[in-house]
Amino acid sequence: MIKPRTPPGVMELLPREQIAFQRMLDTIRRNYERFGFLPVETPVFELSETLLTKSGGETERQVYFVQSTGALAKEGEGLPELALRFDLTVPLARYVAEHEHELTFPFRRYQIQRVYRGERAQRGRFREFYQCDIDVIGKDALSVRFDAEILAVIHAVFSDLGIGDFTIQLNNRKLMRGFFEAQGVTDGEQQALVLREVDKLDKRGADYVRETLTGEGFGMAADAVERILDFVAVRSTDHADALAKLDALGQGGETFNQGIAELREVLELVKALGVPESAYCLNFSIARGLDYYTGTVYETQLDGYPQIGSICSGGRYDDLASHYTKSKLPGVGISIGLTRLFWQLREAGLIAGSDESSVQALVALMDETQLADSLDIARRLRAAGINTEVQMESRKLARQFQYASRAGIRFVVLAGEDELARGVVTVKDLVREQQFEVKREELASSLKVELEQARALAGR
């Protein structure tokens, strides 16, 4: 006998939670599709040579290799041929390069699949997790207008998810680079080091950061450090303030000015796209992966739960697939790590787990002889699009109600001898805690009305 257990570092859900998780996946997908993004799925494994193109990044050290029984027998001949994807970006690069001549650019794709990282086992760290990505890929060039559209998608997704107020924080890597260069920090790596210190502001305070940057290792001038601390402290409060904050930056070098112009265009279009001002702001401390992003960068925070960190991040990059094609493929995209987000929301008590089931009606069975009637009632409900379970063996009615209630099934449909004789059924609505009688042939349409009302109320 083997003890049944999952490997460590995976999130496996019970059905009620899985339904809640699936609703979130569906919501994300619905919004991605609503903005015209097309679905792509790639294999869970890629050739190792495809995945391991960069040298020695953290994620690459965490790769899982895959070997068939046969390949395992022939070990000792270098790296295994296959490995599990550790993100959806490398597969996207490979996909776009491979199918370049069959795709239309700008290419907008969404991809919602799981990825794999051999992380150290730790609470809240997952070795298998969902990423929900969108990217727009251009050929040779891609208008900054898409950066605004991506922000509108983030807004649509999180409004629809209904997990609380959130703020999409915007910055621009060109602006940052231009600014740091003006402070004498011209080297990209040095900028990264400085930003890493600046990131400690919240935890260690301004004095600590000041000391470090003017200290031996960095040796920066005190006034340059002050200007940097002022710069990264910039947050806009509303749309007009965001534009004013950009104006206040004045003029600088070419890169600096370009960053400002891009941010301004993004802000303008975001407004034209109808995103409410409260949903976005400038935050000049947002940097993201410095060696990857080259323009707009986004982070998204739940206003009530800043400790969760960014729940949706991304940005603009210059060239997606330089390892696989000579074509220049600039892009902009974002990613939602849904497994981790779900876990955090659950930890914060924001996943009720008492959500309604995907099953909407239970046809109870009061007497074995009425099974054929139950099946017929269920058939009609299903034909009308109502997810329906039939009680296949009769048990005490109280237990059938208890089951429906625990399972989150809203309607219990009863058709006893008396009801069948009168051509009606009794419906017990466990949400409204009401009971009503309806003609058998009107049952489906009457439940549909109730369910559509509930959907409309929930804004779905």
**Helix H or strand E encompassing 45:** strand 45-47
Q: Helix, strand or coil for residue 200?
A: coil
Closer residue to its own copies in complex, CB, 27/212 = 27
Burial class (CB in 10 A: 0-12, 13-18, 19+), 441: exposed
Q: How far is CA 329 from the centre of its chain?
A: 24
Closer residue to its own copies in complex, CB, 13/182 = 13
Cα 120-123-125 angle, rounded to 5 deg: 55
Closer residue to its own copies in complex, CB, 156/279 = 156
Cα distance between residue 219 and residue 198, in whole Å: 15
Provide the minimum distance between the beta carbon of 37 and its own copies in the complex, in angstroms, as a whole number: 8
Closer residue to its own copies in complex, CB, 82/290 = 82
Closer residue to its own copies in complex, CB, 378/451 = 378
Provide the minimum distance between the beta carbon of 283 and its own copies in the complex, in angstroms, as a whole number: 24
- Least Cα distance to 135 among 335, 333, 316, 315 occurs for 333
Sheet holding 331-337, edge to edge: 38-39, 107-116, 128-137, 331-337, 313-317, 293-302, 166-172, 280-282
Strand partners, 426: 414, 437
Provide the minimum distance between the beta carbon of 249 and its own copies in the complex, in angstroms, as a whole number: 25
Phi/psi for 12 (5° steps) reads -110, 135
What is the pairing mode between strands 313-317 and 361-363?
unpaired
Provide the minimum distance between the beta carbon of 61 and its own copies in the complex, in angstroms, as a whole number: 6
User: Do you know the residue count of the chain?
Assistant: 460
Cα distance between residue 77 and residue 26, in whole Å: 43
Provide the minimum distance between the beta carbon of 44 and its own copies in the complex, in angstroms, as a whole number: 6
Provide the minimum distance between the beta carbon of 302 and its own copies in the complex, in angstroms, as a whole number: 23
Closer residue to its own copies in complex, CB, 155/177 = 155
Provide the minimum distance between the beta carbon of 98 and its own copies in the complex, in angstroms, as a whole number: 4
Written in H, E and C, the secondary structure of 243-257 is HHHHHHCCCCCHHHH
Closer residue to its own copies in complex, CB, 5/396 = 5
